[in-house]
Chains A and B, each alone.
Chain A
Amino acid sequence: MMMDKKISNYLRGTATSTEVEEVEAWITSNDQNAKKFYSFKAKYIASTMDETEVDLNSFYHTNINSKNSTTKNKGRVLFTILKSAAVLALLVGVTYIFKDNINDSGSTPIISKDAITLQLSDGTVEIISEDGTARVVDSEGNVLGSQRGSQLVYKTNETSKEELIYNTLTVPYGKRFDIVLSDGTQVILNSGTSLKYPVQFLDGDNRQVFLNGEAFFTVAKDLASPFIVNTNELNVRVMGTKFNLSSYPEDQFINTTLVEGSVLVYNSNGTFDSSKAAPLEPGYKAEWNKFNQQIMIEAADIAMHTDWLNGKIILRHVPFKNIVKKLERHYNVEITNNNLKLDEELFTASFDIETIDQVFRTFNETYEMDYKINNRQIVIN
């Protein structure tokens, strides 16, 4: 039976995202299917019991060799195991802290680098406060868009313009912001990101925006006008779809993760050629490696790439050096790591999200590191 094959893929974790949905729908459709699945799954687990992929010795030695396993050294016991298994599950449930103390120092620079800013076509820069009601007005006084809390919404094209007028929205570290473009496309900008976009798109022309950083796009469908996201090295061309694009200049990889619809990913030098572009299916990501200029397409863990939308950081086997960047952006801190060995350690963690102090305290409980937090400067030795 076809379903058996799909169920076994599902249990082994090799099912495609369509198969996953199919199997889950089949299980939940009636009790009989559910029972059948549970029994299948129990047998499957039993068959995996002979597999061993864990390091028994480290747990055993730390535990047995310590004379009294008191609660106090429990942390140390687990520390060793976790370290050797390269597994670090940091689970702390505190709500996401969105606010940041912009004015804590008292001195207010003209434009704080901690502010969300909007650069208009004439070069003037405005500060957008997170709970404000700013308006975007063109040179003739027409209102192009207005702000509702943490979202900036541009009006739909009423009068068609002849030329493109660009605005640039910049979100600093530690913040996020949403924008709805004039075609109805929604873009959620992650920390440390800027997006340049026309205040109105031209009719019948490609819709082009320029991204530096990471954003989640929900592109409004318009078959006549493909939507193109330009990054330094890579362009993503779509019709109507949901995808996440991460292209921070300091990262080695540009990741495009598709949630819905379809996209084409292609090199930004040179013109678009559909035969040379890489198509992506939902549930897959295209990873552009800036070092070797290669693209790799593979099944993606959607949650890991879109975690930031819920104010989370999910890491699965990520080296510490890459975690540093994520923490810096998320918490608006500067981390200097002098422990090179730590850089290569792989971690699996999920922040849910607590303060940076708590993150480091938790890290320290499980992986001992010599660190100092001084305001926004963190030094690890």
Chain B
Amino acid sequence: MKKSQPNVNNDFFLSLLEKGEKCAFETLFRLYYSKLVQIAKGYLIYHQEAESIVQNVFLKIWENKGTLKEVTNINSYLYTMTKNSCLDQLRHEKVKRNFLDQRFRIKSEIQYQFIQDDAASLLLENELESKIIQSIELLPEKCKNIFKKSRFEGLKHGEIASQMGISHKTVDNHIANALRHMKLHLREFITISQ
């Protein structure tokens, strides 16, 4: 692939999240939420819990944004958090449910094995990342370039500022604007129900 292939793991993006940058959080949310919900549905026995599990994942990220600097791969981080929450939920249900319920026991066992299957997990994690990259690629050209440059090319704050010969503050503003812009365009490929 070309060297400009985006990835969602750059330090700058994470540092924005860490600072509590709402736009960065929104971007992450819009990119990942529905995909993680689909994954959670696949892992759970009762689909209706999928959304609240993924919402809790995002709430946790937002609440613990100060610790994000230790994260090296946000795709993997989000996927693993979702998976672990689902595993907790399965365990919880296993304890809660009456074991005389044979049909439930079979379903629960299959889900349990599935969530712990390494090959399937790896496939899902990789698929998730490539779908996210596709989503970014689907953005309108201009928007995509801004997005890639500011978000995913790994350029740090200071680097952008010196490259473009502008102040730190201006970079901040540009990025905030770009993200605001993104927000609108992201809507084009994220179908919003209602």
Which residues on A are within 8 Å of B, measured CB to CB? 24, 27-28, 34-35, 37-39, 41-46, 48-57, 59-60, 63-64, 69-71, 74, 77-78, 81-82, 84-85, 87, 89, 91, 93, 303, 310, 316, 348, 350, 352
Contacts and interface: CB of A to CB of B under 8 A. Distances in A.
A38 B192 CA distance: 30
Binding site of B, secondary structure by majority: helix, strand, loop or mixed?
Answer: helix
B4 interface: no
Contact of A310 (B41, B98, B127): B98
8 contacts: A27-B110, A37-B114, A43-B127, A51-B34, A56-B30, A59-B55, A60-B30, A77-B59
A49 B59 contact: no
B123 A56 contact: no
Interface in B45-60: 46, 48-49, 51-52, 55, 58-59
Contacts of B110: 24, 27-28, 34, 37
Contacts of B62: 63, 69
B119 A39 contact: yes
B192 A56 contact: yes
B30 to A, nearest CB: 6
Interface of B: 22, 25-26, 29-30, 33-35, 37-39, 41-42, 46, 48-49, 51-52, 55, 58-59, 62-63, 96, 98, 101, 104, 106-107, 109-110, 113-114, 117, 119-121, 123-124, 127-128, 131, 190-194
Binding site of A, secondary structure by majority: helix, strand, loop or mixed?
Answer: helix
Contacts of B22: 64
Contact of A45 (B39, B58, B63, B106): B39
Given A49-B131, A52-B193, 5 more contacts: A45-B39, A57-B192, A77-B59, A89-B46, A352-B96
Contacts of B194: 55, 84
A83 B102 CA distance: 33
A51 B38 contact: yes
B49 A74 contact: no
B112 to A, nearest CB: 11
A88 to B, nearest CB: 9
A45 B29 contact: no
Contacts of B58: 59, 63
Closest 9 CB pairs between A and B?
A46-B127, A45-B42, A42-B120, A52-B34, A38-B120, A49-B35, A38-B117, A42-B123, A348-B48
Given A52-B34, A52-B191, A46 B131 contact: yes
Nearest to B96: A93
A59 B33 contact: yes
A323 B52 CA distance: 21
Nearest to B30: A56
Contacts of B131: 46, 49-50
Contacts of B52: 78, 81-82, 87, 89
A284 B98 CA distance: 23
Contacts of A43: 123, 127
